[in-house]
Structure formats: structure tokens, C-alpha cells
């Protein structure tokens, strides 16, 4: 039991290790997806002229909703796959909040269960609150 002299309770230490792994896994997974989509994109349209990025067209470029991105990626559309990787990247720190919540529940730390829930609600408000306008 090498953790016996640790400053923290065992659960705290375990959750730290777990969060570390989860963050790494998320980053690696998202970069693999982005790489796959990127290679496909370059093979298909690498020789084409660059789009006019001086002008911002926003949503009209497509792949801005979860549905569009998911069906685009399943349909093996290069941009859809890249955006799926982007979604996995954005989801990585959000998932980290979930896992911290579980950690605090295991430790029965009521104050931090509450604090984590507040952060999660802000996040959910940002995702589903229709703030895009």
C-alpha cells in the first residue's frame, strides 16, 4: 500500500489518476479522428484553391450542429469526420467535470458535489441554451 502515507484520501488520489488518463485518452482519440478526416480531405480536395477565409460565412459552411456532424462523419464526408474530432476534443474537458463529480460523490464531499453541479449546469446551459445568436 504505497498510498498509506499520502496526504489525500485514497479516493482523491485514484480520481486524479483517472482524470489524467481520461484527458489523455480524449486528446489522443480526437487527434486520431481529426487526422483521419484531414487525410481524406487532402486526398479529395488538396489540389483545389483555398476557400475565401477573409470572409466569414459562419453557419452556412455547414457542420455546425451535432446532427449534421454525426451524419457527415458516418457518411465518410471528410469535413464531417474532422468536425467529429473537434467535438470529441471539446467534450474531453466537459467529461472531466462528470468524472470529478463522481469522485466527489464517492468521497461524500457535499460542498464540492454542489460546486461541480453548478459548473456542469453552466456547461449544459452553454450547450443547449440556444446561445448561438
Partner 1 sequence: MTILTFTLLLLAGAYLAGLVGSLTGLGGGVVIIPLLTLVFHVDIRYAIGAALLASIANSSGAASAYVKEGITNIRLGMFLEIATTVGAVVGALIAVYTPTNTIAILFGSILLFSAAMTLRKKNQEALLVGSPAANKLKLNNSYPTKDGEVSYKLKNVGAGFSIMTVAGIFSGLLGIGSGALKVLAMDSTMHIPFKVSTTTSNFMIGVTAAASAVVYLQRGYMDACIAFPVVLGVLCGAFTGSKLLPRIDAKVLKYIFCTAIAFVAVEMIYNGYNHKF
Closest distance between partner 1 and the C-beta of residue 119, in Å? 5
Q: Which is nearest to 36 in space by CA: 69, 88, 72, 85?
A: 85
Q: Under rule CB under 8 A, which residues in 3-42 are in contact with partner 1?
A: 7-8, 13, 15-17, 19-21, 23-24, 26-27, 30-31, 34-35, 37-38, 41-42
Q: Under rule CB under 8 A, which residues in 103-122 are in contact with partner 1?
A: 109, 111-112, 115-116, 118-119, 122
Q: What is the DSSP string of 71-125?
A: HHHHTT-HHHHHHHHHHHHHHHHHHHHHHHHHHHHHTT-HHHHHHHHHHHHHHHH
71 contacts partner 1 (rule: CB under 8 A)? no
73 contacts partner 1 (rule: CB under 8 A)? no
H or E element: which one contains 34? helix 10-45
63 contacts partner 1 (rule: CB under 8 A)? yes
Closest distance between partner 1 and the C-beta of residue 45, in Å? 6
76 contacts partner 1 (rule: CB under 8 A)? no
Amino acid at each position: 500500500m504505497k498510498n498509506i502515507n499520502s496526504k489525500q484520501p485514497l479516493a482523491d488520489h485514484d480520481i486524479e489518476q483517472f482524470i489524467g488518463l481520461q484527458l489523455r485518452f480524449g486528446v489522443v482519440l480526437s487527434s486520431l479522428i481529426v487526422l483521419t478526416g484531414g487525410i481524406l480531405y487532402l486526398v479529395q480536395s488538396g489540389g483545389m484553391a483555398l476557400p475565401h477565409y477573409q470572409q466569414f460565412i459562419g453557419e452556412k459552411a455547414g457542420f455546425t450542429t451535432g446532427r449534421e456532424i454525426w451524419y457527415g462523419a458516418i457518411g465518410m464526408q471528410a469535413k464531417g469526420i474532422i468536425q467529429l474530432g473537434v467535438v470529441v476534443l471539446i467534450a474531453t474537458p466537459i467529461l472531466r467535470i462528470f468524472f470529478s463529480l463522481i469522485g466527489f460523490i464517492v468521497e461524500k464531499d457535499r460542498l464540492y458535489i454542489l460546486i461541480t453541479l453548478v459548473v456542469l449546469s453552466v456547461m449544459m446551459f452553454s450547450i443547449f441554451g440556444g446561445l448561438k445568436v
